């Protein structure tokens, strides 16, 4: 008897996928928005690559019929809230966020009830449900300005990232009550590892995302959002940098400053935990398939969209007034 043959469907090359994605984008009047933590190939095919604040602004202003969000779920949700009439697609619906997941709606609602008389500032890395319970949203690039927009004696709650909240308390002198949440990628970056890297690379500057823990931030030469870190490395006269955030940002840093060296802080010896597993769920194949099938789509009810839009719009208005966005 003849031995059975296994026939596998032919895998498309990256070049074929990239060509087809461009074709589909044109036919469907779609735009691809990508976060800096996406793999290099996705960043390179995107119409716009940015941090959370820049991406929210782009999502609010695009004229495209379809937004493909190469990022994580809360980012695509924000795009849907800002552009409810558009179809918003996320290549993998399981691309969540450990920080957003650390703040479920029910316990958060109970937390708010336990602290009456407080206004609520929520980091954009939270679900639409948390946004509906918030007075204003912030990102890592505008958190300080958003918090400082409140009167000095206003009592504030900051959620869900305790590290970013503590950092903003330290630079503004506020005493915001912090929800006990964190990002598993940034929270694992250790000051011990950073100190070792600083000792072996004394000429390198440490740049850190404010989602890192306080002891790491205390060692940093520069603290800022992904976009701010990128800008810093472009303009700074230094040549070497220890980068305390997710490794995807290195792609743009190398593009803008090919003569500079970037050293990523490893989380521990056993894994590459400074890769966000959620961000890395998006692949070129999934991007192509989602554009072709027009799914998975982000669907939100009208009530949630209306309620969540107010605090996001407030953030965009404050950011415009502070010249953080055009
Ligand atoms: P940015 O505000 O720098 O885009 O950060 C988003 C994020 O998810 C960091 O983990
Ligand atoms: Fe969420 Fe952290 Fe991934 Fe950013 S890096 S998307 S905060 S899990």
For residue range 90-112, list pLDDT tens digits in order.
Answer: 999 999 999 999 999 999 999 99
For the segment 106-130, the average pLDDT, to the nearest whole number, is 98
Q: Report whether residue 36 contacts ligand 2, using a CB cutoff of 6 Å.
A: no
Overall average pLDDT of the 29-42 stretch: 97
User: What was the pLDDT predicted at 274?
Assistant: 82
Question: What does the pLDDT read at residue 12?
Answer: 85
HSE-up (13 A, CA, CB side) for residue 321: 10
| Rounded-to-integer distance, Cα 4 and Cα 113, Å | 65
Domains of the chain in start order, with CATH, are 14-96+280-295 (3.40.50.10800), 99-183+305-321 (3.40.50.10800), 189-273 (3.40.50.10800)
C-beta 182 within 6 A of ligand 1? no
pLDDT of 5 over the 60 cut: yes
pLDDT value at position 270? 55
Kindly report the pTM of this predicted structure: 0.94
Q: What is the mean pLDDT of the chain?
A: 95
C-alpha–C-alpha distance, residues 207 and 216, integer Å: 10
Candidates 51, 72, 56, 78; CA nearest to 225 is 51
Supply the pLDDT for residue 3: 62
DSSP letter string, 224-269: --HHHHHHHHHH-S-SEEEEES-GGGHHHHHHH-TTSEEEEPPSBT
Please tell me the predicted confidence (pLDDT) of residue 189: 94
Give the whole-angstrom CA distance, residue 50 versus residue 52.
7
Lowest mean per-residue pLDDT among 45-49, 57-61, 139-143 = 57-61
Q: What is the number of H-type helices and E-type strands within the chain?
A: 16, 12
Q: Is the CB of 246 under 6 A from ligand 2?
A: yes
For residue 75, which atom of ligand 2 is closest to its CA?
6
Q: Where are the alpha helices (DSSP H) in 120-209?
A: 128-132, 143-148, 162-172, 184-187, 191-200
Per-residue model confidence (pLDDT) at position 11: 77
Q: Give distance in angstroms: CA of 12 to centre of ligand 1.
A: 31
Pocket of ligand 1 contains residue 77 by CB under 6 Å: no
Q: Is the CB of 276 under 6 A from ligand 2?
A: yes
pLDDT of residue 272: 57
Report the alpha-carbon distance of residue 191 to residue 23 in Å, rounded. 47
- Residues 161-183: tens digit of each pLDDT: 999 999 999 999 999 999 999 99
Judged against a pLDDT cut of 70, whether residue 263 lies above it is answered with yes
């Amino acid at each position: 008897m003849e031995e059975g043959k296994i026939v596998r469907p032919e895998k498309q090359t990256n070049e074929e996928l990239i060509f087809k994605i461009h074709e589909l984008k044109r036919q469907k009047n779609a735009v691809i928005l990508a976060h800096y933590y996406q793999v290099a190939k996705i960043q390179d095919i995107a119409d716009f690559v940015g941090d959370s604040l820049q991406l929210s602004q782009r999502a609010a202003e695009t004229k495209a019929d379809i937004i493909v969000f190469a990022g994580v779920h809360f980012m695509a949700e924000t795009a849907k809230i800002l552009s409810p009439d558009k179809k918003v697609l996320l290549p993998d619906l399981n691309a969540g966020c450990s920080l957003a997941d650390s703040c479920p709606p029910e316990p958060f609602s109970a937390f708010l009830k336990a602290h009456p008389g407080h206004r609520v500032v929520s980091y954009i890395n939270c679900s639409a449900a948390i946004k509906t319970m918030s007075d204003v949203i912030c990102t890592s690039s505008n958190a300080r300005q958003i918090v400082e927009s409140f009167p000095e004696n206003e009592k504030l709650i900051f959620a869900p990232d305790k590290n970013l909240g503590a950092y903003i308390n330290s630079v503004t002198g506020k005493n915001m009550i912090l929800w006990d949440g964190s990002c598993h990628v940034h929270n694992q970056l250790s000051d011990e590892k950073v100190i070792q890297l600083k000792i072996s690379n004394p000429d390198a500057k440490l740049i850190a995302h404010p989602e890192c823990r306080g002891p790491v931030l205390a060692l940093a030469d520069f603290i800022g959002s992904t976009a701010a870190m990128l800008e810093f490395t472009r303009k700074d006269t230094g040549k070497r940098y220890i980068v305390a955030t997710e490794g995807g940002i290195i792609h743009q840093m190398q593009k803008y400053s090919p003569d500079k060296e970037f050293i990523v802080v490893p989380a521990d010896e056993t894994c590459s935990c400074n890769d966000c597993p959620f961000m890395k769920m998006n692949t070129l194949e999934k991007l192509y398939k989602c554009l072709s099938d027009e799914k998975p789509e982000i669907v939100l009810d009208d009530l949630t969209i209306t309620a969540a839009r107010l605090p996001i719009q407030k953030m965009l208005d404050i950011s415009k007034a502070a010249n953080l966005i055009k």
